[in-house]
Amino acid sequence: MEVTRVENVTRVYKTGQLETQALRGVSISIENGEFTALVGPSGSGKTTLLQLIGCLDQPSSGKVFINNKDVSTLNRNQRADMRRGTIGFIFQFFALIPTLSAYENVEMPLLLTGTGTAERRQRVTELLEAVGLADRAQHRPDQLSGGEQQRVAVARSLATKPSLILADEPTANLDTPNGKAVMETMTRLNQETGVTFVFATHDPRVIQYARRTITLRDGLVVDNHIGEATV
C-alpha cells in the first residue's frame, strides 16, 4: 500500500518583494515499510519536503497524498488531525518536554488522543523497552545523554501507532556512537513494525542505513535510488 505520494509540488516563500522557490516541481512515491533518506546539501529542499509530507505546511502548487488521501487541501485543524493519527515526528533537537520524565514524554501523545490508562501504560512500557530505555523511564531529559534523549523521541514518535515516521536530521546533534545507536534503533523498529521511515540528512554515516535515497538539489529531485543498506 502506498503511504506517501507527492505530485509536481512547488513551494514558494515570499518575503516582501522577494520570492524563494524551495521546491520546483517535485514528484516522489514512497511505499509502505520503506526506510528512505532525503539527501542533499543545505538549502536543497529536504526540510521543506518533509514539512509538506508531515502536514506542517501546504504546497504552493501540486498535491500531497498520505494513505491515498489528498492532504494538500486540508485546513489547519484537519492537518492537525492527520498528524495526530497517522504521522510521527523525530526532530533534530529532540523536542522533549524538560519537566517530564522519559515515560511521561512518550505518554504525552497518548494523553492527547484520549487513550485509557491501562493501554497507555502498556504502550509506553513496550516502547521504552523497544528503544532500550526501560531502566531510564523516570529520568528527565537533563538526566539522559543526547543519544538517550533521541531514543526517547523515537519511542514517542511511535506512541500512537502511526503509519509514517518523519525525521529531520535525527543524528545531527549526536556524536558517532550515539548517532549509530539511534539509527540502529530506527532500522530495527522499521523492520519489526513495518512503519515507514523517511528521514532528511546530509551525513554519509546516516545515509548508509537507507534502503532508498532520494537526492534533492536546488528544489528538484536529481536522483532516486533503491538499493540495499550498506550497514
Q: Dump the DSSP string for 145-201.
A: -HHHHHHHHHHHHTTT--SEEEEESTTTTS-HHHHHHHHHHHHHHHHHH--EEEEEE
Residue 191 lies inside a defined structural domain of this protein: yes
Is residue 104 one of the residues assigned to a domain? no
pLDDT tens across the length of the chain (231 residues): 567 999 999 999 988 888 899 999 999 999 999 999 999 988 899 999 999 999 999 999 999 999 888 999 899 999 998 888 899 999 888 899 999 999 999 999 999 888 899 999 999 999 999 999 999 999 999 999 999 999 999 999 999 999 999 999 999 888 999 899 999 999 999 999 999 999 999 888 889 999 999 999 999 999 998 877 776
Residue 200 belongs to some domain of the structure: yes
Residue 212 lies inside a defined structural domain of this protein: yes
What is the model's pLDDT at position 159? 94
**Which pLDDT belongs to residue 173?**
87
Q: What pLDDT does 137 receive?
A: 97
- Rounded distance, CA 97 to CA 224, Å? 36
Task: Name the domain count of the chain.
Answer: 1
Q: Is residue 19 part of a domain?
A: yes
In a domain, 142, yes or no: no
Q: Is residue 149 part of a domain?
A: no
Contacts of 38 (CB under 8 A, 6+ apart): 46, 49, 50, 198, 199, 200, 201, 214, 216
> Domain residues for 67?
2-93+162-226
CATH number of the domain to which 13 belongs = 3.40.50.300
Residue 112 belongs to a domain: no
Query: What pTM value is reported for the model?
Result: 0.91
